[in-house]
Structure 1
Amino acid sequence: MTGLVALYQIIDLLTSALVMLIIIQFIIGLLFAFNVVSQSNDFLMAFYNSINRFLDPILRPIRNMLPNTGAIDFSPLVLIIVLQIIMIVLGSIIF
C-alpha cells in the first residue's frame, strides 16, 4: 500500500509541475500580447518557445477537439481540469 501512496505522490508532483508550466506559459503569453515585455527579449522568447515545444504535443489533441474560439485558447484550462479530475479519482482509489 505504501508503494501506491508513493506512486500517487510522484504523479501528484509531476501534475503540479505541469500545471505550473501551463500557468507560466499563459502569463508569458499575456506579457507578450499586451506588450509589457518585448518579443525581442531573447531569453524570455527562448524560454517561452521551449515551454510551447514541451506543451504543444499535450495541448494539440485538446485543441483539435474544442471548437474554434478565435483568439482565446481554452485548451490549457481543459488540461488543468482534466489533470485535477485524474488526481481526484486516483486519490479516491488509493485512499
Structure 2
Amino acid sequence: MQSLFQVLMLILSIAQFFIIAHVIMSWLINFQVLNPRQQLVAQIWYGLNRVLEPVYGPLRRLLPPMGGLDLAPLIALLGIYVIEIVLRNNVAAFY
C-alpha cells in the first residue's frame, strides 16, 4: 500500500508542475517573450491547455468574473496542496 501513496504523491507533483508551467508560460506569452505562432511554443501551449482545461473549466464556472484575472490555477494549486496534506496526515492508512 505504500506504493499507492507514493504513486498518488507523484501524480499530485506532476499536476503541480503542469499548473505552474502553464501559469509561467501564460505570463511569458502575455508579455510577448514567447511567440505562440512558433510551432514548438504552440504545441506546448495547446497541450497544456488540453490537459488542464478539464480542471480549470469547472473552477471557472464556480468563480465570479474577476475582470480578466483568472484565479482557477491558484484554486487548483490550493486544492492539490489540501489533498497532499490530507494524504500525508493519513499516511498510516497506506501501511
- TM-score, normalised relative to structure 2: 0.90
Counterpart CA distance in 1 for 2:78 and 2:47 is: 23
Q: Does 1:49 align with 2:53?
A: no
Shift of 1:42: 1.4
Q: Which residue among 68, 78, 81 is the counterpart of 1:81?
A: 78
1:3-42 alignment runs, 5 A limit: 3=1, 5-42=2-39
Shift of 1:94: 2.0
Secondary structure of 1:25's partner?
A: helix
Over 2 Å off, 4+ runs: none
Secondary structure of 1:40's partner?
A: coil
Paired AA for residue 16 in structure 1: S
**Aligned positions, number:** 92
Paired AA for residue 77 in structure 1: L
Shift of 1:71: 1.5
- TM-score, normalised relative to structure 1: 0.90
Shift of 1:58: 1.1
Q: Does 1:67 align with 2:57?
A: no
Shift of 1:14: 0.5
- What is the alpha-carbon root mean square deviation over aligned residues? 1.0
Counterpart CA distance in 2 for 1:94 and 1:27 is: 32
